A and B are shown apart, each in its own frame.
Chain A
Amino acid sequence: MSTETEGTTDYYSRFQAGTSEGDQGLRPRSEITAKELMREVGSVLRMSEADVASLDDAPDDETMIINMGPQHPSTHGVLRLMLELQGETVLRCKPVIGYLHTGMEKTGEQLTYTQGGTNVTRMDYVSPIANELVFSMATEKLLGIDADIPDRAVWIRMLLAELNRMSSHLLFMATNGMDLGAVSMMIYGWREREEVLRFFQEVTGLRMNHNFIRPGGVAADLPAGWRDGVLNLLDIIPDRLDEYDILMTGQPIWRERLQGVGVITPTEALALGATGPILRSAGVEWDLRRDQPYMYYDEMEFDVVVGSYGDCFDRYAIRLAEIRESMKIVRQILDRMPSGDYRIQDKKVTPPPRARIDESMEALIHHFKIFTEGFKVPEGEVYVGVESPRGEIGCYIASDGSANPYRMHMRDPSFVNIQCLPHMMRGGLVADAVAVISSVDPVLGGVDR
């Protein structure tokens, strides 16, 4: 075309690939060596080369590689799985991620510690409280004020964290049901989750992405009537959970669909770094709330629920039981909620109260400076891990003494847990692949960050 100028050619050329770091997909069997194939399974299972050779039962032909996702409704967002199939059997699988990557860790370096909460809360968007909690705890550890957080703030944090665990697991109940064709379960699960989110809205002002837990405490005190809100939840949800039991747990179709599917052994789970319900489903008793207690979890009475088969049914049952355990904790928190301040009275970290701003110029300046410049955090680096509904969520912050983190890394449980998928799916059916993805309960916002 004569009208096309050189400028437009330049414009388009920027969209052409200038580099390639190699294909991220699953390579066909013909292109990989036996050793590479062995490493895919063998090193996780701690097998010798001979043992792996005996596993390799697939013929070189008659297999095909298909894509599942990224837009498949049952892949929970934009998870893409490449499956190598022989007939209906999954031989190999590879998760391909990054479709939701927005560089939140890089963004975190541009934001001050005051603003950081709004960023991290959007990572694993189903359990925002856990993200904020771990970020705040890491910041407080760097500041050296982690032991001085007022009691009431800590108890509020625990209350919200447990309610968040309930809402997250209720969402799992919904999506797990939906993935397996129990569509009414989807509606029930969302309904109960909404009850919890409604309480969050009363307390934090938002259903999700609260930015409520902040370095130094929480953003506001609990509103009047919060106790009734929690009691209302504790009143509604147990009965509804019993309904789930009737609808799903004992139901033959449900059990057929989940039992013995997607089995993971303790060795595999540990080797892969899986945490949370996946690790516990394999029978490993590991819950940070009990084993490396933070906040006041060591004073709480609750059970760590473990499975014995490591299959999808165990993971379903564990999450259902964890909702009940969380309610147990919430009841104890209700009894013990102290009065007092909801944030630390450290002028460096805490802005002055709203009323002071109207009458004092200094308070206004102080308020302005905290929200524009933030506060300086001493040099150092720290890693803090807490138990989120999906496993260990960790926050690693390296500080150079300025008001923004020099490096802020979130260890997201979903990111690590999806590595279990190939091992859970090996030798299973395509139809079971959906059950397996669902039982790992990945949140792609957390995976890709």
Chain B
Amino acid sequence: MTDQLAETFGCPATDLHEQDVLYPSHEQYFEVIGALADDGFSMCVDLTGVDYLEYSGRPLPDGVQAERFEVVVNLLDIGQRRRIRVRVQVPESDASLPSLFDIYPGTEAMEREVFDMFGVSFTDHPDLTRILMPEDWEGHPLRKDYDVGTIPVQFKEAGA
């Protein structure tokens, strides 16, 4: 199954815990998701990010270069009742990915959340603003180097 996936989409694949995972490169990302959408994965269930700053030695299949950020996309095929997960490495130096909005409009809020929490930007996203934090918040809270507990409480428009 994994060999077949890897061959079809031209990128490494694993099936840890009986869940199919694809590891496209940064360049392949949009194309692979597009191909999966054509293949019947009609719904993007989830899109999230992980900051692997403190855990760079994580297990990855051969040929995948570990980077600081990872964007994880969970797709669902309602017709054939199957799921697939796409993990793409996002380097810190160029933390951006093409937006999936044109394939799955439902990723609008999820990509904004990843942008807000990790600072990964999505090119061609219709409205890439913060979604959970205030507009003027500094930093991206779910990054591992974001200091918890020592920041002053920020409130908007509460000047002296």
Contacts and interface: CB of A to CB of B under 8 A. Distances in A.
A347 interface: no
Complex A-B, nearest 8 residue pairs according to Cβ-Cβ distance, in ascending order: A273-B106, A12-B160, A17-B136, A411-B46, A98-B132, A272-B106, A101-B132, A22-B129
Interface of A: 9, 12-24, 36, 39-40, 43-44, 97-98, 101, 103, 105-106, 110, 141-142, 270-275, 284, 286, 291-292, 379-383, 385, 392, 394, 396, 398, 400, 406-407, 409, 411, 415-416, 418-419, 448-449
Interface stretch (B2-10, B26-34, B97-105): B97-105
Interface in B116-135: 116-117, 126, 128-135
Contact of A292 (B81, B101, B155, B158): B81
User: In this complex, which of B17, B110, B133 has the most chain A Cβ atoms within 10 angstroms of its Cβ?
Assistant: B17
Nearest to A396: B48
Contacts of B45: 273, 275, 385, 392, 394, 411
Contacts of B43: 270, 273
A15 B134 CA distance: 12
Which of A43, A273, A379, A400 has the most B CB atoms < 10 Å from its CB? Answer: A273
Interface string B66-94: 00000010100010010101010000000
A419 B109 contact: yes
A418 B131 CA distance: 13
Contacts of B42: 270
Contacts of A449: 132
Contacts of A398: 50, 58
A398 B21 CA distance: 13
A168 B45 CA distance: 22
A273 B132 contact: no
B154 interface: yes
B11 to A, nearest CB: 17
A416 to B, nearest CB: 6
B16 interface: yes
Contact of B46 (A20, A396, A406, A448): A396
Interface range for B: 35 or more
Contacts of B62: none
Contacts of B17: 141-142, 380, 382
Contacts of A396: 46, 48, 72, 74
A43 B105 contact: yes
Contacts of A379: 58-59
Point out which of B54, B105, B138 has the most chain A C-beta atoms below 10 A from its C-beta.
B105
Given A21-B129, A291-B81, A411-B48, A14 B152 contact: yes
B77 to A, nearest CB: 11
Nearest to B112: A24
B46 A394 contact: yes
Contacts of A273: 43-45, 104, 106-107
A275 B74 CA distance: 14
B135 A15 contact: no
A13 B143 CA distance: 25
Nearest to A44: B105
A409 B106 contact: no
Given A383-B19, A407-B142, A419-B106, 13 more contacts: A9-B160, A16-B160, A20-B136, A22-B128, A273-B44, A286-B78, A383-B46, A385-B74, A396-B72, A396-B74, A398-B50, A400-B58, A416-B106
Contact of A21 (B102, B135, B160): B135
B136 A18 contact: yes
A101 B131 CA distance: 10
B108 A101 contact: no
A245 B113 CA distance: 40
Given A9-B160, A396-B46, A411-B74, A21 B106 contact: no
A97 B135 CA distance: 12
Contact of A24 (B44, B54, B135): B135
B153 to A, nearest CB: 8
Interface in B14-60: 16-17, 19, 42-46, 48, 50-52, 54-55, 58-59
Nearest to B152: A14
A21 to B, nearest CB: 5
5 contacts: A21-B137, A22-B130, A291-B78, A416-B109, A419-B109
A36 B44 contact: no
A254 to B, nearest CB: 30
Contacts of A416: 106, 109-110
B1 interface: no
A380 B105 contact: no
B55 A16 contact: no
A419 B135 contact: no
A36 B58 CA distance: 40
B63 interface: no
A98 B134 contact: yes
A15 B50 contact: no
A383 B130 contact: no
Nearest to B50: A407
Given A383-B74, A392-B45, A43 B102 contact: yes
